[in-house]
Chains A and B, each alone.
Chain A
């Protein structure tokens, strides 16, 4: 073995593993954010649709998340947390911001879903003796879900792509990993191609699954 240090080495098999691991990071980050964001967003959407008094506060508040670039939100939150004496890892901070962002988007969609089920239909459900909760669960939920499902899938894919921005906080997700590899291998086009393929691998199953569901529901 020679003692010379090589700074640049070609793309190796292990690098593929490194990218796969980073893709797993992207998946974890987005899945967690989407889960939390959807739960929160449905609650908020229900408030928007059913408790009209909350609208003057909630609508402008949720609007902020869609009117300020995500990258600014991430930097702001990541720098705010230490100010109140807390410490959050880039992953956790990214999760919080992405969840809030997803919740703001889901809230509008959930509200549209609830409102898409007409009042007469819901009155009919209530007059059949269903409780409010039953009418929500058995009438509004299944019907509203079908209307807004494509929009929700759009949010899921959007959040997954936007999770790439958490790289600015230092979390090594797919895009950041590809940056690291580009610096070492100097094979930008190839590494980006692999990273792009991973993004496709992550988003394509979701699109496919969603399209299949939509078709089945239309029948």
Chain B
């Protein structure tokens, strides 16, 4: 090994990197929020049976297929360069948010479909026969069970969103990876900078997983293990 490591510039940039890590978290969380809403809509649209709803169903099928069968970076490029052809130019933040939300929605649609299937229809009927309204039955009986079924995949998707947001580096967003690259290109201490970024990513992901576990423990205690 005839290479000297220089960690000092990285340490000096550490506050900037941590600041950027929060951008990463914000982008991931926001894209998850949009992804959950869109994913729920897609999951419902896929199960539409009315002939009039066929276009919505096809849109959902195409969306899910595209989101799951093409690379996330491809999806980002589509929102970045592809839409530019239609005169829609987006900021790096908007590109990453759109790309990640599109991807999250596609994957979460499948997750939610599985989650709703995991709750037998008899549960709804039983709740109604107990005198609950449809709304009550939904919010008190069905949704909590769906939530439990999708909790783990939801956590996984959030971790993925954090990891995928690093693609922002390629479209000029200064989230953790992008900021790291910008800082690294100033001093050419590429290895040192990215090593520190890797550590920060690892810590962020571990904290997220830990947080999700704690929340699951709090939310689902008293339930028999699934």
Q: How far is the CB of B190 from chain A (nearest CB, A)?
A: 5
Q: How far is the CB of A183 from chain B (nearest CB, A)?
A: 10
Interface of A is mostly: helix
Q: Cβ of B71: which chain A residues have Cβ within 8 Å of it?
A: 161-162, 164-165, 175, 199
A68 to B160, CA, bound (A): 10
Query: From residue 119 to 159 of chain B, which have CB atoms closer than 8 A to chain A?
Result: 159
Query: Which residue of the partner chain A has the closest CB to B165?
Result: A69
A130 on interface, CB distance cutoff 8 Å:
no
What does the 1/0 interface line of A78-95 toward B look like (CB < 8 Å)? 011001110000000000
CB of B84 within 8 A of CB of A188, answer yes
Query: Which residue of the partner chain B has the closest CB to A154?
Result: B68
A84 to B78, CA, bound (A): 38
A147 on interface, CB distance cutoff 8 Å:
no
A78 to B15, CA, bound (A): 26
B49 on interface, CB distance cutoff 8 Å:
no
What does the 1/0 interface line of B44-56 toward A look like (CB < 8 Å)? 0000000000000
A190 to B82, CA, bound (A): 8
A64 on interface, CB distance cutoff 8 Å:
yes
A183 to B152, CA, bound (A): 41
A79 to B86, CA, bound (A): 38
| Contacts between chains A and B (CB distance < 8 A), count | 97
Query: Which residue of the partner chain A has the closest CB to B77?
Result: A192
CB of A192 within 8 A of CB of B74, answer yes
Query: From residue 51 to 106 of chain B, which have CB atoms closer than 8 A to chain A?
Result: 66, 69-74, 77-78, 81-86
Query: Which residue of the partner chain A has the closest CB to B166?
Result: A69
B206 on interface, CB distance cutoff 8 Å:
yes
Q: Cβ of A178: which chain B residues have Cβ within 8 Å of it?
A: 77
CB of A67 within 8 A of CB of B169, answer no
A189 on interface, CB distance cutoff 8 Å:
yes
B30 on interface, CB distance cutoff 8 Å:
no
A132 on interface, CB distance cutoff 8 Å:
no
CB of B70 within 8 A of CB of A73, answer no
CB of B69 within 8 A of CB of A204, answer yes
Q: Cβ of A196: which chain B residues have Cβ within 8 Å of it?
A: 66, 70, 74, 78
A72 on interface, CB distance cutoff 8 Å:
yes
Q: Cβ of A80: which chain B residues have Cβ within 8 Å of it?
A: 191
Query: Which residue of the partner chain A has the closest CB to B85?
Result: A189
B217 on interface, CB distance cutoff 8 Å:
no
* Known A76-B195, A79-B194, A84-B1; contact A68-B202, beta-carbon cutoff 8 A: yes
What does the 1/0 interface line of A59-72 toward B look like (CB < 8 Å)? 00000100111111
A69-B164, A72-B166, A83-B3 known; 7 new pairs, CB 8 Å cut-off, are A64-B202, A72-B194, A164-B74, A188-B84, A189-B85, A189-B86, A199-B70
Pairs across A and B, CB under 8 Å, 14 listed = A67-B206, A68-B201, A68-B202, A71-B167, A71-B170, A73-B198, A80-B191, A161-B71, A161-B72, A175-B77, A179-B77, A188-B81, A192-B77, A192-B81
Please provide the 3 A-B residue pairs with the shortest distance between their CB atoms, ordered closest to farther.
Answer: A69-B166, A164-B71, A161-B71
A residues contacting B by CB (< 8 A) are: 64, 67-73, 75-76, 79-80, 83-85, 157, 161-162, 164-165, 167-168, 175, 178-179, 182, 187-190, 192, 195-196, 199-200, 203-204, 207
B residues contacting A by CB (< 8 A) are: 1-3, 66, 69-74, 77-78, 81-86, 159, 163-164, 166-167, 169-170, 177, 180, 190-191, 194-195, 197-198, 201-202, 205-206
